[in-house]
């Protein structure tokens, strides 16, 4: 190729040799293909690739900085394209519209190669193919990392949505899923299962007399006390306000009574420090419990435990009450 022809190329030999995509590629082997290409100078914010208006082109960044924006469930993921690299290669190979937007992040100098020309260049240069494969391999690795991070964050969000932020216990959203699963398992195997409803006595007066900060401290302390009295397999939940519910898998009425009394006595003996000074506060709880009956639902077993709780509170509070489900209530 003559010097006159070389002068009409959109990219100089020196620029060509600086590009990562053209590493180890002979300039003369692709110069003829470059004659039909063009160089553009987009300003910052210019949209170069738009999935809604797809054009199968390869954009080689000669100078400046480009930004890729991918919309996903977790939000918008952004990454930079530096000089020597390119954008648009996936749509050329797959013959599909682009999956991301690409903007000029700074003043740029960009070599545009139409899809047919890019494919012809790849067919003409083995080294160019290797460079493309290396760039695409890097993109795939990066995409896999982004997917893994997004899945992790989604799992964290889902898990956090099932945990009560104040006490650290699970909340009613978790209850709906896990209690239903445990009850189905117990019903299917005809296994023992006891359910508790627990309420902090006179909690409103604690908030009224000491303030909501102390009320929060009481909730946290009671939640910790509940956990200390249970097995790892038991399932405590902050039901709402000052109420807690607990499923005790594999637990019959006799053992549930022992757990209920241990829980009541443990909370009564606690000394809860106030948020200022060395003063402490003592509280009591009322406990209602029942055992699973055939074909129980989560709603029916919790309702019986809640009726027992109401009876315990009506009978003076700081009591444990068993609801047998046949209208019989037993106070302990």
The domain that holds 99 is classified in CATH as 2.60.120.10
Whether 130 and 276 share a structural domain: no
Answer yes or no: is pLDDT of 1 > 60.
no
Whether 194 and 318 share a structural domain: yes
Answer yes or no: is pLDDT of 56 > 90.
no
Q: For residue 157, what pLDDT is reported?
A: 63
Q: pLDDT tens, 293-314?
A: 998 999 999 999 999 999 999 9
Answer yes or no: is pLDDT of 292 > 70.
yes
Residue identified by tokens 């509170």 is: 313
The CATH number assigned to the domain holding 316 equals 3.30.70.270
Given 20, 242, 261, 268, which residue is catalytic? 242
Q: Which residue has the higher pLDDT, 152 or 247?
A: 247
Whether 177 and 56 share a structural domain: no
Last residue of a domain, one of 126, 157, 188: 157
Q: pTM here?
A: 0.59
Whether 177 and 153 share a structural domain: no
Whether 134 and 217 share a structural domain: no
pLDDT bracket for residue 5 (50, 70, 90): very low
Find out whether 237 and 171 touch, Cβ atoms under 8 Å: yes
Give the pair of three-digit tokens for residue 41.
């100078």
Q: pLDDT tens, 137-173?
A: 887 787 777 667 767 766 766 666 889 999 999 999 8
Whether 259 and 140 share a structural domain: no
Whether 306 and 235 share a structural domain: yes
Q: Residue 44 domain-assigned?
A: yes
Domain that holds residue 188: 172-331
Q: For residue 240, what pLDDT is reported?
A: 92
Whether 195 and 139 share a structural domain: no
Residue 106 is a catalytic residue: no
Last residue of a domain, one of 157, 188, 221: 157
């Amino acid at each position: 190729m003559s010097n006159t022809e070389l002068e009409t190329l959109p990219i100089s030999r020196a620029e060509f040799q600086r590009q990562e995509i053209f590493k180890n590629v002979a300039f003369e082997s692709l110069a003829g293909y470059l004659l039909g290409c063009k160089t553009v100078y987009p300003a910052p914010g210019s949209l170069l690739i738009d999935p809604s208006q797809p054009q199968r082109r390869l954009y080689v960044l000669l100078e400046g900085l480009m930004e890729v924006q991918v919309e996903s469930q977790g939000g918008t993921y952004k990454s930079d394209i530096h000089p020597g690299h390119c954008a648009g290669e996936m749509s050329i190979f797959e013959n599909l519209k682009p999956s991301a937007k690409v903007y000029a992040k700074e003043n740029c100098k960009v070599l545009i190669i139409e899809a047919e020309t890019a494919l012809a260049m790849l067919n003409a240069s083995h080294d160019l193919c290797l460079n493309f494969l290396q760039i695409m391999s890097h993109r795939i690795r990066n995409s896999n990392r982004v997917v893994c991070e997004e899945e992790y964050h989604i799992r964290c969000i889902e898990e956090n949505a099932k945990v009560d932020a104040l006490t650290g216990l699970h909340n009613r959203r978790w209850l709906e899923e896990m209690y239903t699963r445990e009850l189905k398992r117990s019903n299917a195997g005809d296994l023992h299962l006891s359910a508790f409803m627990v309420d902090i006595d006179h909690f409103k007066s604690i908030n009224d007399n000491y303030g909501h900060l102390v009320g929060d401290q009481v909730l946290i302390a009671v939640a910790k006390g509940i956990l200390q009295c249970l097995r790892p397999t038991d399932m405590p939940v902050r039901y709402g306000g000052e109420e807690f519910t607990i499923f005790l898998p594999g637990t019959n009425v006799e053992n549930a009574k022992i757990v209920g009394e241990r829980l009541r006595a443990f909370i009564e003996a606690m000394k809860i420090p106030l948020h200022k000074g060395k003063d402490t506060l003592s509280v009591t709880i009322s406990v209602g419990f029942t055992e699973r009956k055939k074909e129980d639902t989560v709603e029916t077993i919790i309702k019986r435990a809640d009726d027992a709780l109401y009876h315990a509170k009506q009978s003076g509070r700081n009591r444990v009450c068993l609801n047998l489900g046949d209208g019989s209530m037993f106070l302990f």
